[in-house]
């Protein structure tokens, strides 16, 4: 697909558009394909799915800075709403399609494996921090890792994040 055709598709669609960049040789793309097909079937008429073969559209990938596949992008009213690289389970795809279809903010959640990995790293750092006399630096670092494992579920983060985004956007202007 050419850049002009892609832009026209995104801008003229009356429905929100979910774009998947894939390739026939990509293992994660093959794993995600049945879930994506099923989810797009569930949301037929509510969200348009556009599948773009990465091997056939290298200029488009470069222009959109797509560095890995599969990459999924969601567009609403011609504007990019979210972007995520890597294979996703059907439950996450269902949530994203529903959010796009209903005009809600698309929630990007950590995968359970990522949560566990961050929690384990936090516990290891805390253990080393306590065992080494205690090390405030390692304990703070452990706290940051632990917070990053649960931040999207944290009510304080949910209350502060929109305000911080607003302040940052004002500071950039």
At residue 166's C-alpha, the angle toward residues 163 and 169, to 5°, is 150
Catalytic sites, residue numbers: 26, 29
Residues in contact with 63: Cβ distance below 8 Å, sequence separation at least 6, in sequence order? 3
- Residue 28 burial by CB count (10 A; 0-12/13-18/19+): exposed, middle or buried? middle
User: H-helix or E-strand containing 74?
Assistant: strand 71-76
- Radius of gyration of the chain measured on its C-alpha atoms: 20
HEC string for 2-35: CHHHHHHHHHHCCCCEEEEEECCCCHHHHHHHHH
Question: How far is CA 97 from each of CA 34, 35, 70, rounded to the nearest angstrom?
Answer: 15, 12, 16
Q: Could you give the CA distance from residue 125 to residue 113 in angstroms, rounded to a whole number?
A: 18
């Amino acid at each position: 697909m050419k850049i002009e055709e892609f832009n026209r598709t995104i801008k003229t669609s009356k429905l929100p558009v979910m774009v998947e960049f894939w390739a026939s040789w990509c293992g994660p793309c093959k794993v995600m394909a049945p879930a994506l097909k099923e989810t797009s079937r569930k949301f037929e008429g509510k969200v348009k799915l556009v599948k773009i073969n990465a091997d056939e559209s290298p200029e488009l990938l470069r222009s959109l800075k797509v560095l890995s596949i599969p990459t999924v992008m969601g567009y609403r009213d011609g504007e990019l709403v979210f972007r995520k690289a890597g294979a996703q389970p059907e439950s996450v795809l269902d949530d994203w399609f529903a959010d796009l279809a209903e005009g809600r903010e698309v929630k990007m959640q950590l995968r359970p494996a990522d949560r566990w990995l961050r929690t384990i790293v936090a516990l290891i750092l805390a253990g080393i921090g306590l065992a080494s006399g205690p090390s405030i630096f390692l304990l703070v670092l452990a706290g940051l890792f632990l917070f990053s494992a649960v931040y999207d579920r944290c009510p304080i983060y949910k209350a502060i994040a929109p305000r911080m985004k607003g302040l940052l956007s004002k500071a950039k202007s």
